[in-house]
């Protein structure tokens, strides 16, 4: 067996020398294999991109019409140089994939970002047996445990209802890609009212609708007439829109943030939201540990967030574990 590891980081990204490609490179490269369309994983400027088929429309939206993007169906094996590559659902956002790389019987899986909770807007995570598993560690501390999603969806709906009765707008901050669509998908099980969305969210909703995902009907805030009343309405917006003049048009409003970070009470207070809803597109602590057990990896390499504490925890339990330094961000606070 060759002595170079199948995947290793260099200044451009996670490099597979035997296959002649990078996974989720953070600088432009010749051949990029992409786990999913979030900005810290799908960066601009590479000569060619390969991703799971359902992620292609979103990648195109993010990387531009001129980008060379090819899709491969989930599970299909592609020969690249001396290795075989395949994509497997990560359950994070629509089309998000784990990348499996095999060379002469040795199997590595790069998880990308992943979650194990049910999500009506994306494919379900598939455990893939491997020797080395590169896992994200965004929420890898025992305090991070998610409630069942239908419970959280009901909390969001009840908050909207209470604001409606009080004549207030409900402004819910969440990531434009993935979280917004998941919330709209969950709420569609509770109501058929429509919601307003920030201009950055609507084009992504269109990608999801074209893929056949059911969500609440939405209208972009930017297309409403001047003087539109938002009393009683639900508005979804990315965190970057908060505190700006964009907020003024809503009149009296209750604000909330939907994020895994809302598990820690101080975070909500510090950020000045009226409410926090604990809902994340990343695995929580029990789901991380359960995943390592299910796939039977001999070695786990951790990256994103609490990489070091997670690797230490695994080593203390007799597992081979180490960290991998990458600029991936997981779920940032803003």
Q: Which residues are CB-neighbours of 75 under 8 A, at least 6 positions away?
A: 86, 87, 88
C-beta of residue 170 within 8 angstroms of C-beta of residue 193: no
CB 212 to Zn ion: min, Å: 22
CB 33 to Zn ion: min, Å: 15
Helix (H) or strand (E) holding 72: strand 69-72
List phi, psi (to 5°) of 91: 65, 20
> Of the listed pieces 76-84, 107-115, 193-201, 307-315, which binds Zn ion according to CB under 5 A?
107-115
Distance from CA of residue 96 to its chain's centroid?
8
- Distance, CA of 231 to CA of 170 (rounded, Å): 8
Per CB under 5 A, 271 contacts Zn ion: no
* Closer residue to Zn ion in complex, CB, 171/176: 176
* Closer residue to Zn ion in complex, CB, 201/235: 201
Q: Is 288 helix (H, G, I), strand (E, B) or coil?
A: helix
CB 36 to Zn ion: min, Å: 6
- Distance, CA of 110 to CA of 277 (rounded, Å): 29
* Closer residue to Zn ion in complex, CB, 238/330: 330
Q: Which of 21, 160, 230, 328 is close enough to bind Zn ion by CB under 5 A?
A: 328
Q: Which of 113, 123, 186, 284 is close enough to bind Zn ion by CB under 5 A?
A: 113
Q: Is 112 helix (H, G, I), strand (E, B) or coil?
A: coil
* Closer residue to Zn ion in complex, CB, 233/287: 287
- Pattern 217-256, Zn ion, x by CB under 5 A: ----------------------------------------
* Total residues binding Zn ion (CB under 5 A): 4
> Of the listed pieces 113-121, 211-219, 248-256, 316-324, which binds Zn ion according to CB under 5 A?
113-121
Q: Using CB under 5 A, which residues numbered 9 to 48 contact Zn ion?
A: 38
* Closer residue to Zn ion in complex, CB, 110/160: 110
> Of the listed pieces 99-107, 108-116, 215-223, 231-239, which binds Zn ion according to CB under 5 A?
108-116
CB 113 to Zn ion: min, Å: 4
CB 40 to Zn ion: min, Å: 5
* Closer residue to Zn ion in complex, CB, 261/328: 328
- If you write DSSP's letter for every residue of 162-198 in order, what string do you get? HHHHTT-EEEEE--TTTHHHHHHHHHTTT----EEE-
CB 255 to Zn ion: min, Å: 24
C-beta of residue 52 within 8 angstroms of C-beta of residue 211: no
The residues that touch Zn ion, with contacts defined as CB under 5 A, are: 38, 113, 328, 330
């Amino acid at each position: 067996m060759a002595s170079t590891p199948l995947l290793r980081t260099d200044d451009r990204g996670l490099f597979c020398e035997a296959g002649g490609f990078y996974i989720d490179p953070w600088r432009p490269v010749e051949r990029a294999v992409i786990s999913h369309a979030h900005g810290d994983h799908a960066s601009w400027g590479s000569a060619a991109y390969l991703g799971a088929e359902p992620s292609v429309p979103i990648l195109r939206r993010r990387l531009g019409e001129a980008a060379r993007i090819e899709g491969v169906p989930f599970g299909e094996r592609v020969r690249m140089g001396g290795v075989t590559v395949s994509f497997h659902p990560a359950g994070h956002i629509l089309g998000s994939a784990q990348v499996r790389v095999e060379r002469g019987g040795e199997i590595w899986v790069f998880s990308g970002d992943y979650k194990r909770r049910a999500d009506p807007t994306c494919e379900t995570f598939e455990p893939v047996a491997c020797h080395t598993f590169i896992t994200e560690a965004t929420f890898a501390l025992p305090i991070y445990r998610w409630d069942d999603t239908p419970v959280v969806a009901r909390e969001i709906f009840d908050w909207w209802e209470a604001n409606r009765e009080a004549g207030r707008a409900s402004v819910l901050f969440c990531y434009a890609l993935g979280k917004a669509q998941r919330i709209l998908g969950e709420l569609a099980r509770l109501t058929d009212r429509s919601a307003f969305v920030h201009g950055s969210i609507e084009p992504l909703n269109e990608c999801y609708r074209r893929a056949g995902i059911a969500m609440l009907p939405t209208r972009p805030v930017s297309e409403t007439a001047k003087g539109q009343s938002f009393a009683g309405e639900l508005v979804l917006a990315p965190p970057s829109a908060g505190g700006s003049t964009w907020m003024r048009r809503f009149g009296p409003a209750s604000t909330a943030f939907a994020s895994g970070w809302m598990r820690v009470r101080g975070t909500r207070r510090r950020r000045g939201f009226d409410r926090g809803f604990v809902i994340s597109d990343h695995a929580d602590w029990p789901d991380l540990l359960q995943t390592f057990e299910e796939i039977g990896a001999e070695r786990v390499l951790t990256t994103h967030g609490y990489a070091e504490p997670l690797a230490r925890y695994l080593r203390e339990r007799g597992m081979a574990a180490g960290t991998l330094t990458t600029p991936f961000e997981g779920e940032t606070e803003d």
